[in-house]
Amino acid sequence: MDRDKLFSYHKWATIACLQHVQTSGEEFYSKEGINSFASIQETTEHVLGVEKLWLLRMSGVANPTFEHFDVETTEKAIEAYELLHEEMEVFFSRLTDQQWEETLHYRNMRGDKFSTTREEMLFTFVNHASYHRGQVTSLLRQFGKEGIALDYIYFQKENR
């Protein structure tokens, strides 16, 4: 797995999704629909908090606390993601290949025990965010708005 490319895709898709919500109309960001979370804003807060949990786990914190971010507007959400992703990039840049493959032990939010490598954690949180980006598209469609193509192939096309 090319970790740098995977994380670059993740950053691109996350920001592109939120920018699409902005251009669709800020009023749709907090509008309630039917999904795992009632709104795009609540979905965004969940994903951002989970990404911070993964960063803390990757840093060796076995039982991190869920952090709530100010995501009242799409602009604030984009800023919060950009800051978190910068923090992740700095952390990731310091890891050796051996550290990426190191198995860490932690508990999930339910208290279940897991043992996972940092590389597997990276794939997990990118996949988790992809799932929720799909839910954002679902919410937008419920509101009569278009989704946005965020598949990896579009990232490649845009970033060649």
Q: Which residues does the annotation place in the binding site for a divalent metal cation?
A: 46, 128, 132
Residue ranges for the binding site?
46, 128, 132
The Cα 94–Cα 99 span in angstroms is: 9
Reduced DSSP (H G I as helix, E B as strand, rest coil) percent helix, strand, coil of the chain, to 5: 65, 5, 30
Helix residue ranges per DSSP H, the chain: 3-24, 27-30, 40-58, 74-93, 97-101, 118-142, 152-158
What lies within 8 Å, CB to CB, of 59 at 6+ separation is 91
